[in-house]
Structure 1
Amino acid sequence: MTKRKWALLAFLLVFTSTLLNAQKSKEFDLKSPDGNITLHVSATDKLQWSVSHKGQQILTPSVLSLQLEDGSVLGSQPKVTNSKVDKINATITAINYKKARIPDQYHQLTLNCKGDYGVIFRVYNDAVAYRFTTKKKGELIIKNEEATFNFTDDHKAFIPIQWDYRGGQNFNSSFEALYHEINLSQFPKDSLAFLPLLVDVGQNKKVVLLEADLEDYPGMYVNLNETQKGFKSVYAPYPLEAQLGGSGNMNFIPTKRAEYIAKTAGTRSFPWRAIAISEQDKDLLNNDIVQKLASPSRITDVSWIQAGQSTWDWWSSRTISHVDFKAGNNTETYKYYIDFAAKNGVKYIVIDAGWSDRADLLTINPALNLQEIVDHGKQKNVGVVVWAYWYTITQQMDKAFPHYAKMGVKGFKIDFIDRDDQVAVKSLYDIAKAAADNKLMVDYHGVFKPTGLQRTYPNVIGYEGVKGLENFKWANEDQPRYTVSIPYIRMMAGPMDYTSGAFRNVNQANFRPINNLPLAKGTRSNQLAQFVVFEAPFQMLSDSPTTYIKEQECTDFMTKIPAAFDETVPLDGKVGEYAALARKKGDSWFVGAMTNWTARDLTLDFSFLPAGNYQVEVFRDGINADRDGTDYKKEVTKISSGQKLPIHLAPGGGWAARIEPTK
């Protein structure tokens, strides 16, 4: 036998052996780069994943599958044709984020299966994620997707339950809810929860359920699975017909839905399903998993996209005083807002509902000269962002975006989406792209949680999907507990426009809902700390400019806090109890600490500071802040790297500081 024939025979033997081993291999293990997390994938009769952390079982075997309309189930009786492991160590350059650079280190397992589909698994040091991929011709109709998260016990969890059914229809809501702090088995029957949610798995460990890179696909809800120790996915069916209705007739609500959840390209990657794992609650304050899993930016030139603070007219009902004109939705009022913004270094103003015909963005309220307002803003270096509701944007963006971009408008605040079916999700990407093509920024309100769109289209500068400060206008709720829960849960998904900055601060006993010039629970220092703790590249100053002028000392501190940062350092915290973190911008550091209704003493470790001496400007709760929430104390002192500083937080209180290196 010739050498060539021997070589060919050897190759065939190796190839056949490899193929047989691939077909026989039905169990796969993958560890995180630090070796602490182990992912186990079973490809027997069903595809299942399970996860352990330092020997503690986090997820027990949990099924994953894609069910197609033709009856086939991707993940049932899987036949793995080949597998591949990759080790990635990269860095992501972030845009308008809580840090400038994101270390992106993970191990990846790719399973390709017979039937032109595959699953990609990733294991990070603090998270595990997977997604389906398909390579099929033509269009796919997805009947359902099965994503399950099975835990070992009836753990306690923080779960946002859907409650405000817009137009009385399921799968239509504002995606705003306080957390049900319950055991898994207490999940309300026939209810849905939206993501993110948190599960306390014991041994001080917390697990947060997330999804990422949600493009052209419905968002994931969950309800209780059959074991009552975990969750199974639920999705809004594909909308076939819709009509205006719901809140103020501003929702576009599906009235007829298909018996499938999505119709999409046959060759594509599906959204990531992820869990983040922390050994200390504070670690969740600095987790980047959604940002890492999102598709990279599709905008080449991002120089025109600038994070910043903005005034907001709606929360205080445009109530201003000590002026010689009638305040309202008119030119004089918004010039006043611009003058205030310019004097205080605020980059934007928002003109909320009422500046245009709600159904026709090209018909402007005659009491308001938008071009004059925009031009006044240009002279003062203040950008103007205008409000619109989603349905009108979908009908008119091709005309409205170039028209208002030419006028000089900087962006749109788009509201009342209140859906996350496939059509709504795709629409947000389409709007972001069309806005980017016209160099317009977008602030989404009345919207589901972010899933990475803000990385893919960085002109998406704001995202609600949180039960924000606006609720004080009509509701008496335990927001001080909520505001020290969302940094560990909702904020894991990405930026959240909570709309901080209320200066009429009261304790629980003195609170009552007021529509004009609302009150806010908690202390003044708590509100200032929110500007550091909450991630919001488009950060609202919710209160009236007149109120801020009367409280110039606090206003000066608040408006010097950046809206995006170079670095984030978690300092201390416990979900639902308190949170403390530091953020850096340039050579300056900003520290914020917040508590629920429990007064507490903390010790902050300033070893995150580079070696040297610093001047620190502190706003802390005043001695009577428990009785009068506006009571605060300003101090200017010195601090050095490595110093430990005791601080006191009043009930509903806060502590905020700006730290500058001394010359």
Structure 2
Amino acid sequence: MKRACQIALLLAASPGIPALAQTIYSPGHTLALQFQLSPAGEPTYQLSLGKKQVLKPSRMGLLLQNQPGLNQGFQITRIDSLTHDDTWQPVWGEQKNIRNHYRQLTVHLRQTAAPGRLLDVVFRVFDDGIGFRYEVPQQPGLTYFVVQQEATEFNLPANHKAFWIPGDYDSNEYTYSTTRLSEVNTTPIEPIQLKADPTRVQTPLMLKSDDGLYVNIHEAALVNYPAMMLDVDTKGFGLRSHLVPGATGAAAYLQAPEHTPWRTVVVSDKAPEVLASKLILNLNEPTQLTSTDWIKPQKFVGVWWEMHVNRASWNYADTSNIKLAGTNWSKLRPNGRHGANTANVKRYIDFAARNGLQSVLVEGWNVGWEDWANNWKEEVFDFVTPYPDFNVTELQQYAASKGVKLMMHHETSSSVTNYERRQEAAYRFMKEHSYDAVKTGYVGRIIPRGEHHDGQWMVNHYNRTAALTGQHQLMVDMHESVRPTGLHRTYPNWLASEAARGNEFNAWSTGNPPEHETILPFTRLMGGPMDYTPGIFQIQLEPWNPAQNKGRQVHTTLVKQLALYVTMYSPVQMAADLPEAYEKHADAFQFIKDVAVDWDDTRILAAEPGDYITIARQAKGTQDWYVGAITDEQARQQTVKLDFLPAGQQYEATVYTDGKGASWDKNPMAYQIRKQKVNSKSVLKLQLAAGGGAAISLKPVAR
């Protein structure tokens, strides 16, 4: 439901005289947003939560290439407002119903200097935050234009604590630093792709003020535009937008009428309310798909972790400098370590079938892995030619006989021009062989050369890929992509992305510190689900390959890996370890078999970024509930009230906790399991080991 009205003109005849401030309150009057033109005719805004200042006056606007910017010299010509309140149902998600309730303020601006160019600034004010964007109307003299940067600011009132990663144009696979804004410095951090500016950080940026405000800055509906980074003023504590440039150095090539993505600020004095926010999702457009019944949230296993722990290889042959065209792969000498062979894949299919897992991912099935090595080569993979030991038809038939689907893998080697030329053929190949989902990868430097993973060109590619897979009724999980901005509402077949430092880093690097998973929901996951690949049971990795894995381990307890299925939301969850690891711990594996991936309700029971998270979720279409609790490097007790359960219904709780003496570094695989009867009045006290967690399944007892 919308109610619209036009506010009386409150203008200043000259940009030298500030226009009267316009204040709009959120529906519940928790937030107040004020818009005003500065004496120079600059659009500015500020935000408060009750009596607490969230953002000081902050400037706005677009800076254009080779012409004056749309950032000053304005007067207000009209102001419109409306109230919107409706409820919608996602195809899948954390809640069955999502309320979209906001007040909107649209400020129509005209520059006083000829030719009188127009700019609209649109604000949507929710009870848990704001979104705003720039809209450039169709107008004479401004049809095609190039955005060089934005003048958007987020000026903070104090030196907040910040949870940040470097503003790298090509990677978000960093561990988080927790510092004051005044201490932001990316210089000591080893770059993964391109070295970031010393004070440039990525969004989502999580902040906490000394007076108890939690502030999250990100963006929504990133379409035809580059990702937004933030430049930190380490002395004044202001943040200024920085758009990832393209190959020419400019940020975005646009044609009016056009609008930018929404800039978002989620704010609350309670950390759980930040995690519960659906503001970013609400700022995205509904899906245009006419049919969505083919979109299936799922759990899967895969030929994947064994390569990370050096038990197998992606490549088939021990050779280099192989050209795809004209190569007779059947005559190459196998290296004897190729993981994606028919017999091994059948083993995973059997395991999935025995344990009720829907799919099997197979990486390294297609020719070309020997010819990659990050050499910035144009044509490496064709996405349709299997290695000699991978029988596509036989595996298709075998999987079908077991009631299991195979999940495709397309590593593009970041040669995106090559992938786009071959996408139609690759997706036809998938449909012909009964693949319903594809995991894409973008490891390496982008081709076309000079473009970046987070620039406009690649953003358009990710969105085109989501649309194209949707047209083919295929689900997609993108790795090494730009971080999500809620577009899974528009493209519900875009199940998840990686776009952060995942569990795999524990296998071949310094790993992820125990606090990592307590920060990610407040940062990366604010924009959408992450394929984090939880479920590692063999925490100490040496047994898989003693020579190459000496001293390596996952930086959590085994039980924390279970809890991640609840705290790290995704509709596509991997049971990431090898089947034999699960067979050794079948009692603990039961939780992975049971836990849902699609939900009717979610309750954030306790949360503090960098410290702990406890979440309860109700499985879709059932009365079953699951609870996950995780902590950082500090052991702690979490008290869980089960008052979210229906009154009068008894449940059986299966409680998975860290064992006596457990810790992530010295005794990570100790766990214990207990069962007890509970109801809505019950209270459970969970003891979390250092780097540990707890997981609970709650199933109603038949009366």
Fold agreement, TM-score > 0.5: yes
Q: Offset at 1:464?
A: 0.5
Gaps of at least 5 residues in structure 2 are 1-5, 111-116, 188-196, 313-335, 369-379, 444-451
Match of 1:209 among 199, 217, 221: 217
Q: 2:33 aligns with which of 39, 46, 58?
A: 39
The 5 Å alignment of 1:638-649 reads 638-649=677-688
**How far off is 1:316 after superposition?**
2.3
What letter matches 1:622 in structure 2? G
Please give the secondary structure, in 2, of the residue aligned with 1:609. Answer: coil
Structure 1 position 443, deviation (Å) = 0.6
User: 1:210-609 residue pairs with structure 2 within 5 A?
Assistant: 210-225=218-233, 228-239=236-247, 258-317=248-307, 319=311, 328-357=339-368, 358-390=380-412, 391=416, 392-416=418-442, 419-505=453-539, 519-585=553-619, 586-609=622-645
Corresponding position of 1:196: 204
Aligned length: 616
CA distance in structure 1 between the partners assigned to 2:692 and 2:626 by the alignment: 17
> Are the equivalent residues in 1 in contact too, given 2:155–2:237 (CA < 8 A)?
yes
More deviation, 135-144/331-340: 135-144
Deviation for aligned residue 1:294? 1.3
Equivalent residue for 2:692, pick from 631, 637, 653:
653
Alpha carbons 1:566, 1:583 under 8 Å: kept: yes
Considering fraction of residues, name the structure with more helix: 1
Residue 160 (structure 2) pairs with residue 148 (structure 1): no
Amino acid corresponding to residue 98 of structure 2 in structure 1: I
Looking at structure 2, the residues matched to 49 and 375 of structure 1 have their Cα atoms a distance apart, in angstroms, of 60
Q: Which residue type is aligned with residue 144 of structure 1?
A: Q
- Paired AA for residue 610 in structure 1: P
Could you tell me which of 44, 49, 53 is aligned with 1:53? Answer: 49
Q: What is the CA-CA distance between 1:539 and the residue it aligns to?
A: 0.7
Cα separation, 2, equivalents of 1:343 and 1:556 = 12
Q: Do the aligned residues in 1 keep the contact of 2:341 with 2:365 (CA within 8 Å)?
A: no
Query: SS of the counterpart of 1:377?
Result: helix
Moved more, 211-220 or 465-474: 465-474
Structure 1 distance, partners of 2:505, 2:12, is 56
Match of 2:120 in 1: 118
Q: Does 2:110 align with 1:71? A: no
> How far is the alpha carbon of 1:624 from its aligned partner?
2.7
- Residue pair 2:360, 2:405 contacting (<8 A) in 1 also: yes
When residues 20 and 416 of structure 1 are mapped into structure 2, their CA distance, relative to the original with a 3 A threshold, is: closer
Contact kept? 2:303, 2:339, Cα under 8 Å:
no
User: Which is richer in strand?
Assistant: 1
Contact 1:374 1:407 in 2 (8 A): yes
Partner of 2:504, secondary structure, is: helix
Deviation at 1:259, TM superposition (A): 3.8
Deviation at 1:156, TM superposition (A): 1.4
Q: 1:473 to 1:20 in 2, by over 3 A?
A: closer
The CA deviation string for residues 526-545 of structure 1, in whole angstroms up to 9 with x for no partner, is 11000111111111111001
Mark the runs of 5 or more structure 1 residues left unpaired by the alignment.
Answer: 1-14, 164-170, 240-257
- Cα deviation, 1:120-148, whole Å, max 9, x if unaligned, reads 10111111110011112543321221221
In the alignment, the residues of structure 1 paired with residue 608 and residue 288 of structure 2 have an alpha-carbon distance, to the nearest angstrom, of 37
Instruction: Note the alpha carbon deviations across 1:302-331, whole angstroms, 9 max, x for none.
Output: 1101111111322222859xxxx9872211
Instruction: Note the alpha carbon deviations across 1:19-42, whole angstroms, 9 max, x for none.
Output: 575878542101111111111111
- What's the CA shift for 1:442? 0.8
SS at match of 1:140: strand
1:92-119 alpha-carbon deviations (Å, 9 max, x no partner): 2112211121111111111122233201
CA distance in 2, matches of 1:42, 1:308: 48
Report the CA distance shift for 1:426/1:26 in structure 2 as closer, same or farther (over 3 A).
farther
Q: Secondary structure at the match of 1:469?
A: coil
Shift of residue 614 of structure 1?
1.1
**TM-fit CA distance, 1:227:** 5.0
8 Å CA contact retained: 1:476, 1:513: no
Contact 1:31 1:107 survives alignment (8 Å): yes
Which whole-Å CA distance do the structure 1 matches of 2:30 and 2:474 have between them? 44
Distance in 2 (CA, whole Å) between partners of 1:150 and 1:339 is 56
The answer to whether the Cα contact below 8 Å between 2:10 and 2:20 also exists between their aligned partners in 1 is no
Secondary structure of the residue that 1:483 maps to in structure 2? helix
Deviations 1:248-278 (A, max 9, x none): xxxxxxxxxx242111221122100011112
Structure 1 position 366, deviation (Å): 1.3
Residue of structure 1 in register with 2:85 after alignment: 89
Q: Does 1:159 align with 2:157?
A: no
Larger mean CA deviation between 373-382 and 631-640 belongs to 373-382
Check whether the contact 1:476–1:512 (CA below 8 A) recurs between aligned residues: no
Counterpart-to-counterpart distance in 2, 1:650 and 1:102: 35
Answer whether contact 2:503 2:512 (CA < 8 A) is retained.
no
* Selected match of 1:128 from 130, 135, 140: 130
The question of whether the paired residues in 1 share the 8 Å contact of 2:228 and 2:242 is answered with yes
The offset of 1:406, in angstroms, is 2.1
Asked whether the equivalents of residues 475 and 513 of structure 1 are also in contact (C-alpha less than 8 Å), the reply is no
* Residue in 2 that maps onto 1:10: none
In structure 1, how many angstroms separate the alpha carbons of the residues matched to 2:698 and 2:618?
Answer: 9
Instruction: Compute the TM-score of the two structures, normalised by the length of structure 2.
Output: 0.84
Describe the SS at the equivalent of 2:626: strand
Letter of the 1:134 counterpart: V
The equivalent of 2:332 in structure 1 is: none
User: CA, structure 1 residues 263+375, in 2 after alignment: closer, same or farther (shift >3 Å)?
Assistant: same
Separation (CA, whole Å) in 2 of partners of 1:232 and 1:295: 26
What displacement does 1:361 show? 1.2
Query: What is the deviation of 1:434?
Result: 1.1
Report the CA distance shift for 1:530/1:19 in structure 2 as closer, same or farther (over 3 A): closer
Structure 1 residues 345, 513: CA separation in 2 closer, same or farther (over 3 Å shift)?
farther
Q: 1:245 maps to which residue?
A: none
Change (3 A) 1:260 1:638: same
Paired with 1:658 and 1:636, the residues of 2 have a C-alpha distance of 10
Are the counterparts in 2 of residues 27 and 40 from structure 1 also a CA contact under 8 Å?
yes
* In 2: Cα distance, 1:576 partner to 1:385 partner: 34
The one-letter code matched in structure 2 to 1:519 is Q
In structure 2, distance between residues paired with 1:78 and 1:223? 25
Query: Secondary structure of the residue that 2:306 maps to in structure 1?
Result: coil
SS of the residue corresponding to residue 503 of structure 1 reads: coil
Q: Greater shift after overlay, 349-358 or 111-120?
A: 349-358
CA distance in 1, matches of 2:10, 2:601: 49
- 1:449-489 deviations in whole A, cap 9, x for unaligned? 10122111111112101211101112224521111111222
Per the alignment, do residues 540 and 516 of structure 1 end up closer, same or farther by CA in structure 2, a change over 3 Å counting?
A: farther
Identity of aligned residues (%): 27
After TM superposition, the structure 1 stretch with the greater mean CA deviation from structure 2, 82-91 or 349-358, is 349-358
Match of 1:244 in 2: none
